[in-house]
Chains A and B, each alone.
Chain A
Amino acid sequence: MNQILLSIIKKEFWHILRDPQTLVIILLMPILMLFLFGYAITLEMKDITTVIIDHSKTPHSRQFIEKIRSTDFFNITGFNIPESQIEDIFFRRQARCVLVIPSDFASDLQTEMRTKIQLIIDASDPNAANFINNYFAQLSMRYNNENNPRLAMPFSVEPRIFYNPDLKSDYFFVPGLIAVLILLISALLTSIAIVREKEIGTMEQILVSPVHPVQIIIGKVIPYTILGFIDSILILLVGHFWFGVPVIGSIVFLLFALVIYILTGLSFGLMISTITDSQQMAMMAALLSTILPTIMLSGFIFPIKSMPLIFQYVSKIVPATHFLEIIRGIMLKGNTLLDLKVQLGYLFGLAGLLILVSVRKFSTKLE
């Protein structure tokens, strides 16, 4: 039994080492993707193209404009255009918001309780419109506090932000990307390893020997767990040292959770391999069935709580949903395994279930 298992593991390592090109792809692809997505996906906004129409033309209004200019959120691209052209500017995407300062701005500021200025926003991207609105509200409140001391505030909210004080979206996305990439790589590795043997005909020779399916499967999974683990560590290193995502919790906990997550991915790959016959099919199946649900349904970008109820249930069987809570919990909050026992339980359950199904489906017959 042990001799058989050992032979299969050894053979699988030979395959890996004999094909250095594939090995390099396996090790470098996730890192390249991490760089690519790490820079491409961000929720932070800056350089909002802005046009300002200043009817007031007073030191006060110029001081206010200076305030806007000094942030890197707004990028002033036009000045004092005729108001009839506002819509035209939105149409041609030359600005995403237009600020109109009325002519009585300076005098109102000194005499009236309320000073009105107008902000016109292009809300074809409602999320961005919201951002612009909020950012501008903050900016003007600060200006009011400085310039209109008579304005009394009933109370004010003083936020303190935990775990990600600078609200960097890298902190949110890099762990998420790690979850996507590890699942993808591990599912790809096993599904291709088995389907390749079906394709070139070597599986037939193994099936005619007295090897038990469990031995074939474990013999295939162990080498790729090690490979997937090396991959994960590389990704983590880039995430930590390049993107600066902290690891507040225990690195040992994190690695432990990683192994379970890799096993989930590998066993998912096994399941794919039992239902596909060509490497190309296996690759497509692995790509589609890992990337899409992980990105859409795991809370990687879109919050689960705001999904329709049915999708909230579906998200429970997406392994990344639980791993994301674990990895964000450990890296950002310093959670211990005890805090994450529910998520770990789900992950264990999913891995076990997938292995069970694929061992059962893995047939020692040719059909």
Chain B
Amino acid sequence: MTNSGYTVHVENLTRMFGTFKAVDNVSFQVKPGEIFGFLGANGAGKTTTIRMLCGLLLPTSGKAIVAGYDVYKDTEAIKRHIGYMAQRFSLYEDLTVRENIEFYGGVYGLNRKQIKTKTAELLDYLKLWEHADKLTASLPLGWKQRMALSTALLHNPDLIFLDEPTSGVDPESRRNFWMLIYELSEQGKTIFVTTHFMDEAEYCHRLSIMRDGKIVELDKPQSLKQKYKADTMQDVFMKVVQKVEA
């Protein structure tokens, strides 16, 4: 375990797929308790970066320390300390809400008693008691996303990776979801979130904009807006992209 004071510490991280550089020499640090945003178009390399940090994909080169562990050597330790919510809804649709929570509780090594209290806690929290024994497939997408987030938190990780958690969700549910993220941040958890919604980018403490595998901007949303003399993140994003193309 190495301690640099950062929750995530990345230096010159690169990932090739054949001759294609999906992530190109990326460096950044995430502080404890921060909401760190990754903004970029589809295919910019956000998901690949997240997958490398979660231990799902080996980097081609570069350095990455996550929650104090090296992504090359200690992926098993990383997996115990992080929560991860994939881009695609990845709970079991043919299992009930309760069964999904019980399954993931078991997978993270919780004992029977812990699973029971955790399940009750989560159902309370998600206000899903009356749907607890319905198949997950029957829930609206907004609820499914909240459920996915809660199951990612079952083992109480300090660092949570969210890969486009709100894609396909209506604005109301998106707002509710971000309230959850803020609550978690207030509890001292570090959130690493990718998105392609510009309004969501404003909610992040710090933001990096990715393009073609590279990080082209990294700062607080407010500072970025000042730097580019823009009113909204939408404008910032457009200007950043144009600047790179020019």
List chain A positions with a Cβ less than 8 A from chain B: 3-4, 6-8, 10-11, 14-15, 18-19, 200-202, 204-211, 364-367
Question: Which one of A18, A201, A364 lies within 8 Å of B94 (CB-CB)?
Answer: A18
B84 touches A3 (CB 8 A): no
Question: Which one of B79, B91, B92 lies within 8 Å of A208 (CB-CB)?
Answer: B79
Question: Which one of B94, B102, B106 lies within 8 Å of A4 (CB-CB)?
Answer: B106
The answer to whether B107 has its CB under 8 Å from any CB of chain A is: yes
The answer to whether B70 has its CB under 8 Å from any CB of chain A is: no
The answer to whether B75 has its CB under 8 Å from any CB of chain A is: yes
A204 touches B103 (CB 8 A): no
Chain B residues numbered 59-117 whose CB sits less than 8 Å from any CB in chain A: 75-76, 79-80, 82, 84, 86, 88-95, 99, 102-112
Nearest chain-A residue to B151 (Cβ)?
A205
Q: Could you write out 24 A-B pairs with CB less than 8 Å apart?
A: A3-B110, A7-B105, A8-B103, A10-B103, A10-B106, A11-B95, A11-B99, A15-B92, A200-B90, A202-B91, A204-B56, A204-B86, A204-B88, A205-B86, A206-B107, A207-B56, A208-B55, A209-B104, A209-B108, A210-B79, A365-B56, A365-B57, A365-B58, A367-B57
A3 touches B109 (CB 8 A): yes
B94 touches A205 (CB 8 A): no
Q: A208-B54, A208-B79 are known contacts. Are A4 and B107 too (CB-CB below 8 A)?
A: yes
Residues of B within 8 A of A4 (CB): 106-107, 109
Residues of A within 8 A of B106 (CB): 3-4, 6-8, 10
The answer to whether B146 has its CB under 8 Å from any CB of chain A is: no
Residues of B within 8 A of A19 (CB): 94
Question: Which one of B55, B58, B90, B93 lies within 8 Å of A205 (CB-CB)?
Answer: B90
Residues of B within 8 A of A7 (CB): 102-103, 105-107
List chain B positions with a Cβ less than 8 A from chain A: 51, 54-58, 75-76, 79-80, 82, 84, 86, 88-95, 99, 102-112, 135
- Chain A nearest CB, measured from B81 CB (Å): 9
B75 touches A364 (CB 8 A): yes
Per CB-CB distance, the 9 closest pairs between chain A and chain B, nearest first, are A7-B106, A205-B90, A201-B88, A208-B84, A18-B94, A210-B79, A201-B90, A11-B103, A210-B80
A208 touches B109 (CB 8 A): no
Residues of A within 8 A of B79 (CB): 208-210
Residues of A within 8 A of B76 (CB): 210
Residues of A within 8 A of B102 (CB): 7
Report how far A208 CA is from B80 CA in the complex, Å.
9
> Quick one: which of B58, B82, B90, B94 has the most chain A CB within 10 A?
B90
